Amino acid sequence: RAKADGRGVARFFDPSMQDAADRRAAFEAAMRDGLSLGQFRLFCQPQFDCHGNLTGGEVLVRWQRGAELLGPDHFIGFAEESGLILPLGEHVLKESCRALARWDGDAMLGHLKLAVNVSVHQMRDPEFPERVARILDVTGAPPGRLYLELTESVFAEDMQEITRRMFELRARGICFALDDFGTGYSSLAYLQRFPLSALKIDRSFVRNLGIDPGSASIVEAIIALARKFELEIVAEGVELEAQRSFLTHGGCSSLQGFLLGRPVPMAEFEHAYSAAGVGHA
Ligand code: C2E
Ligand code: MG
Ligand code: MG
Ligand code: MG
């Protein structure tokens, strides 16, 4: 039992710290097991153009831990700290590319884009472009339908390295979207410097449309900016008809949100939107 008879000693034996360390170790072990047991499942949320046509989906990972279905907010941060984000990210990319390959040729799904969230930790990996290329080769996924979503946290990185990796991937046909736009470190210079195809307006601005006039101004400014840079603009978190109407009339190119469709398991997404139920594997 810890006594305060020396700072280091007291800290070392602090039972609450030991508990925390044990909990972290147990969580890490559980995540590793989960990865090898296939407990990380891909959900997909549909995206639509301003006329209401389905244009694609965003992959959102969930952890099926027994009966419990955990959302990414419960484990992505930990995965990033522990390094498990690399195998997890690889799994998500591989499964996403398998889906794209499966959709290829389907009358309904064949033209859809699939957006995959990529952590800055993955972008830091010098091997990342090679890994993606390998996954595309192995799965046979059409690279032009793969969107990688990065958050503005990449702007805090070694810009030369990140930019080089992005161009390498772009050269293979992969597109990039900047996620949660407007909430982070954005410098407008980066919009020009990065090979970006889309901006995603953060949910917090969409949520406040019609409530806080400032958010409407921000959304309008982001749309104007995206137009200048010839970027597609995706609004996320669309929950209300009034938001959809504002965004559509404002010139937003795609919409995503509970109003239009919730994230559902990949098989369900395929079943819901395929021409004849893509004989889901
Ligand atoms: P994100 O990429 O910004 O994803 C959008 C989040 O907004 C998702 O939360 C989605 O379920 C939620 N959402 C969509 N429409 C609405 C709406 O109308 N209302 C509300 N209230 N929420 C909506 P989710 O699935 O919990 O994911 C949270 C975050 O976790 C994602 O934010 C993304 O940053 C991260 N994430 C998810 N999957 C992955 C992954 O495979 N890899 C990495 N690195 N991060 C991931
Ligand atoms: Mg995203
Ligand atoms: Mg987002
Ligand atoms: Mg987010």
Q: Is 137 exposed, middle or buried (0-12, 13-18, 19+ CB in 10 A)?
A: exposed
Ligand 3 center to residue 122 CA distance, Å? 17
Ligand 1 center to residue 6 CA distance, Å? 45
Ligand 3 center to residue 115 CA distance, Å? 11
When pLDDT is cut at 50, 70 and 90, the band that residue 12 belongs to is low
Ligand 1 pocket member 61 (CB < 6 A): yes
Find the ligand nearest to 177 CA: 2
Helix (H, G, I), strand (E, B) or coil at 81: helix
Q: How far is CA 62 from the centre of its chain?
A: 12
Which residues touch 280 (CB under 8 Å, ≥6 apart)? Answer: 102, 267, 270, 271
Q: Label residues 118-129 b or e (16+ Cβ within 10 Å = b).
A: bbbbbbebeebb
Ligand 1 pocket member 202 (CB < 6 A): no
In this structure, of 29-38, 79-88, 124-133, 179-188, the range with the lowest mean pLDDT score is 179-188
From 44, 70, 81, 117, mutation site for ligand 1 pocket: most ligand atoms within 8 A of C-beta:
117
- The predicted structure's pLDDT at residue 13: 63
pTM (predicted TM-score) = 0.92
* Mean pLDDT of all residues in 64-93: 97
Tokens of 129: 């472009």
> Which tens digit of pLDDT belongs to each residue from 193-212?
899 999 999 999 999 998 88
**What is the residue with the minimal CA distance to atom 12 of ligand 1?**
237
The residue among 267 and 2 whose pLDDT is bigger is 267
When pLDDT is cut at 50, 70 and 90, the band that residue 3 belongs to is very low
Residue 220 above 70 pLDDT?
A: yes
Task: Name the nearest CA neighbour of 273 among 54, 113, 61.
Answer: 54
Ligand 1 center to residue 179 CA distance, Å? 10
* Mean pLDDT of all residues in 52-80: 97
When pLDDT is cut at 50, 70 and 90, the band that residue 276 belongs to is low
From 236, 255, 269, mutation site for ligand 1 pocket: most ligand atoms within 8 A of C-beta:
236
Ligand 1 pocket member 258 (CB < 6 A): yes
* Mean pLDDT of all residues in 95-103: 98
Interface ipTM = 0.97
Location of structure tokens 């090898």: 36
Ligand 1 pocket member 230 (CB < 6 A): no
Neighbours of 265 (CB within 10 A): 15
Residue 29 above 50 pLDDT?
A: yes
Ligand 1 pocket member 180 (CB < 6 A): yes
Residue 280 above 50 pLDDT?
A: no
Mean pLDDT, the chain, rounded, equals 91
* Mean pLDDT of all residues in 159-183: 95
Residue 219 above 70 pLDDT?
A: yes
Find the ligand nearest to 93 CA: 1
- The predicted structure's pLDDT at residue 192: 87
- The predicted structure's pLDDT at residue 154: 87
Ligand 1 pocket member 261 (CB < 6 A): no
Ligand 1 pocket member 71 (CB < 6 A): yes
Q: How far apart are CA 263 and CA 231, in angstroms?
A: 24
Which residues touch 158 (CB under 8 Å, ≥6 apart)? Answer: none
Between the CA atoms of 203, 42, 126 and 152, what dihedral angle is there, to the nearest 10 degrees? 0
